[in-house]
Amino acid sequence: MSTAPVIAAVDGSDDSLRALDWALDAARRRAAPLRVVHVRQYAAWGQPDVLVAGEPDAAGDPVLDEARDRLVADAVGPVAEYPAVEYVALEGAPSALLPELGSDAQLLVLGSRGRGGFASLILGSNGMAAARDARCPVVVVPRPGREVHDQLPAQPGPRVVVGVDVDSPDDATLAFGFEEAVWRGARLQVIAAYPWPVQFWATAGELAPPTVDQDEVEQETRTLAEGFLAPHLKEYPNVRAEVLALPGDAAGALVAASKDAELVVVGRHRRRLLAPARMMGSVTQAVLLHAAGPVAVIPPSSSEES
């Protein structure tokens, strides 16, 4: 049985080349092949999608030539450590084709903004579409230098951050986080946020003071999160995991934790009865826009997406 590839989407931009470097490292860690894909955009009235596969020279694609040259330049060390690489050119609308690449991939990696995006955009529309619609996990690699004003205390060493919603836990997100921690020899930092302060309306226009104790809410949040972690800790006993139960905004906590983290892992919303289309979720979108490092967006299991 063949191993599903790690896919790097490139378009010649510096952002996509940084994503290519990240994808190469991910493929090496997974012992998976690397597929480098360039979607050549055409106008809406242009021809239908065409697939051209093979070596970059055969496809006549300068973007793939540049990607190949970069991989060759980075190829230091034993050849056995490097994955098999395939180069593919597609013609069509990137926002439509990029999510489809995830149908036979274990990971899709792209930069936060491509060549066609407006300079003022933090995350391009193609990245947003892929993170929202792809069937496989999507990693978005941001530009370096994003500032994070708040920072959570963390022990030194490699660290993978995972966001957990204790009201609606996503097992696929936790599983991905544990696997990444194993591949990277990293600790797992689990962020479980709870709303605080809790406010109640007493009379019209007046807020009553909270009737619950914050320590109790925090402890309950931590206990629930630790319960969700328990089966994964049994499967991965060598992974060191810590739970931070934090008051307030989940997105803000995850962004604060992203400073110097190897990866931030967040889940994508499950489909709802009254909203059958795939949804990103406000927390996931905020983390994609503001995290200081790469962000992995994990789709729900196939049973929950059907």
Q: What average pLDDT is seen over the chain?
A: 82
What is the pLDDT at residue 303?
46
Query: What 3-state DSSP class applies to 78?
Result: coil
Distance from C-alpha of 303 to C-alpha of 306, rounded to nearest angstrom: 6
What is the pLDDT at residue 206?
60
Ranges assigned E (strand) in the chain: 6-9, 34-40, 50-53, 85-91, 107-111, 138-141, 159-163, 187-194, 200-201, 207-208, 241-247, 263-267, 295-298
* Model confidence pLDDT, tens digit, residues 103-140: 999 999 999 865 544 333 345 677 888 899 999 999 99
Least confident span in 33-47, 100-114, 154-168, 181-195: 33-47
* Cis bond before residue 237 (omega within 30° of 0): no
Domains and CATH numbers, the chain: 6-141 (3.40.50.620), 159-305 (3.40.50.12370)
Burial of 176 (0-12, 13-18, 19+ CB in 10 A): buried
- CB atoms closer than 10 angstroms to residue 58: 12
Q: Are strands 85-91 and 34-40 parallel, antiparallel or unpaired?
A: parallel
Average pLDDT (164-171) is 88
Cβ-defined contacts of 210-218 (< 8 Å, 24+): 214/247, 218/194, 218/245, 218/247
Instruction: Assign 93 a pLDDT band (cuts: 50, 70, 90).
Output: confident
* Model confidence pLDDT, tens digit, residues 34-67: 999 999 876 444 444 444 444 434 347 899 999 9
- What region, left, alpha or beta, does residue 186 occupy, with left being phi > 0 and alpha being psi -120 to 50 degrees? beta
- CB atoms closer than 10 angstroms to residue 214: 13
